[in-house]
Amino acid sequence: MQVCVVGSGGREHALAHVLGRHHDVVVTPGNPGIPGSVVAPPEEVEADLFVIGPEAPLVAGLADRLRATGRLVFGPGADGARLEGSKAWMKDILDDAGVPTAAHGTFTDEVEALAFLDTMGDLFVVKTDGLAAGKGVLICDTPEEAQAAVDTMMAEKAFGAAGNEIVVEEFLDGEEASFFALCDGENALALASAQDHKRVGEGDTGPNTGGMGAYSPAPVVTPEMEARIMDSIIAPTVAGMKAEGAPYKGVLFAGLMITPGGEPQLLEFNVRFGDPECQVLVPRLKSDLLTAMVATSGGQLSRLDLRWSEQTALTVVMAAKGYPGSYEKGSEIMGLEAAGSREGVIVFHAGTKAKNGKIIASGGRVLGVTALGTDVGEAKARAYGAVDAIQWEEGFCRRDIGWRVAGA
């Protein structure tokens, strides 16, 4: 089959890499690291299946527009994409479906939001309602920090229109995990788990980012925990979306907190493969990814079974110095071929451009250096060995990806 992947980041590179094992793949607009990149609107590309990678075009209804022309599409329509496009709306769906999540309130008025803070404890999470490139979540250790976060979003408009409405919720303690499932509007099929590293600094310090690295599977998501997640979070959401008149078709990414008591609580839903979680998820899939996507799009998940590698995958994100704040673009990156030729290693491009035969950094998160190994320790050693082979003085990475796993 001819497949068109829509997007230009590391997630899309990973999808194209895995789909390209057995099928013809084009990626629009792609990036210099992805063979088959074309610069053309998706509507002008001829393909048997369209796979939409990023959240913004999903929220904007690209899947609906493609389906209206008779195309087969992997990804939710605009109604389903509201699960990520509006955190306030998502919380309403969770409440109606009885999905366990943090106590919360949604606000369009700053005074009301500040008053709500006084009714809760000392630790808060303040989120923009709309999309903010993974940066619209502020974890606040004191009421004063929460007040400042509300002001930053609603008065200063640091995240633009995404902060016109905000969600204020209690801080949940425990271990975070990412869990993925395919949904065909009625049925859901578990994929696998991962663990992201959101904060920019080692030891999970500093501001949140779009993700500085990940590994899969996450040991905290045992087979028993997976069953609980499917029963208490994924299945009720799929049923709730169907009852809402917006059957969900695509991958559902559940950001979870596993509490000290072993209870899975939903932090938020994303309506696409994560980035960098996708880079550690799909390389472990032994079954044909395209078959799974077609079954999802065609409402046939009940007939599908998937096989996974027992290996661990780990990704280290290399970012431009200054990220997630201001950073310089245009620096040259060398050593990519040497890094990618190491055993078990794949270097996924995210924020790169080609200029005069050179690879140039053009974004905040620039590369996803991914490695497979028998366990986290081996995958980590391989990934950092490849990182050290890359020559890019203007870049940096966390050196502790996988730190939660003993012996990593």
257 and 150 in a common domain: no
190 and 273 in a common domain: yes
285 and 209 in a common domain: yes
**Phi and psi at residue 104, to the nearest 5°:** -155, 165
Q: What is the pLDDT of residue 407?
A: 59
Residue 408's pLDDT band, with cuts at 50, 70 and 90, is low
Q: Which alpha helices (DSSP H) does 223-318 contain, by range?
A: 223-229, 235-243, 277-281, 289-297
Choose the final residue of a domain: 164, 191, 206.
164
Sign of the alpha-carbon dihedral angle for 149, 155, 160, 162: positive
**Rounded (to 5) percent helix, strand, coil in the chain:** 30, 30, 40
Query: Can you tell me the mean pLDDT for 255-276?
Result: 95
pLDDT at 406 over 70: no
The predicted-structure confidence for 155-175, as pLDDT tens digits, reads as follows 999 999 999 999 999 999 999
Q: What is the pLDDT of residue 136?
A: 87
Q: What percent of the chain has pLDDT over 90?
A: 90
Query: Can you tell me the mean pLDDT for 270-297?
Result: 97
The predicted-structure confidence for 55-113, as pLDDT tens digits, reads as follows 999 999 999 999 999 999 999 999 999 999 999 999 999 999 999 999 999 999 999 99
45 and 141 in a common domain: no
Q: Across the chain, what does the average pLDDT equal?
A: 95
Q: Is residue 215 part of a domain?
A: yes
The predicted-structure confidence for 332-372, as pLDDT tens digits, reads as follows 999 999 999 999 999 999 999 999 999 999 999 999 999 99
How many separate domains does the chain show?
Answer: 4
Query: Can you tell me the mean pLDDT for 284-311?
Result: 95
Residue 141's pLDDT band, with cuts at 50, 70 and 90, is confident
Residue 249's pLDDT band, with cuts at 50, 70 and 90, is very high
Q: What is the pLDDT of residue 143?
A: 87
Q: What percent of the chain has pLDDT over 70?
A: 99
**Phi and psi at residue 10, to the nearest 5°:** -65, -35
Point out which residues pair with 216 in neighbouring strands: 313
Q: Is residue 29 part of a domain?
A: yes
293 and 192 in a common domain: yes
Q: What is the pLDDT of residue 134?
A: 73
For 179, the token pair is: 């869990």
Choose the final residue of a domain: 77, 101, 122.
77
CA distance 3 to 12: 12
For 60, the token pair is: 């904007």
Q: What is the pLDDT of residue 76?
A: 98
Q: In this structure, what CATH number is given to the domain that contains residue 179?
A: 3.30.470.20
DSSP 117: H
299 and 189 in a common domain: yes
CB atoms within 10 A of CB 403: 16
**Phi and psi at residue 255, to the nearest 5°:** -85, 120
Query: Can you tell me the mean pLDDT for 238-259?
Result: 96
For 351, the token pair is: 């924020």
Q: Is residue 401 part of a domain?
A: no
Under 8 Å between Cβ of 12 and 34: yes
DSSP 232: I
Domain that holds residue 49: 2-77
| Nearest in space to 254 (alpha carbons), one of 93, 389, 369 | 93
Q: What is the pLDDT of residue 252?
A: 98
339 and 320 in a common domain: yes
Residue 118's pLDDT band, with cuts at 50, 70 and 90, is confident
Kindly report each contact of residues 263-266 with a partner whose C-beta sits within 8 Å and lies 24 or more positions away, as own/partner. Answer: 263/100, 264/100, 264/225, 264/228, 264/229, 264/232, 264/233, 265/100, 265/101, 265/102, 265/172, 265/174, 266/94, 266/99, 266/100, 266/101, 266/233
The predicted-structure confidence for 203-225, as pLDDT tens digits, reads as follows 999 988 999 999 999 999 999 99
Q: In this structure, what CATH number is given to the domain that contains residue 125?
A: 3.30.1490.20
CA distance 342 to 91: 44
pLDDT at 392 over 90: yes
What predicted TM-score, i.e. pTM, was given to this entire model?
0.93
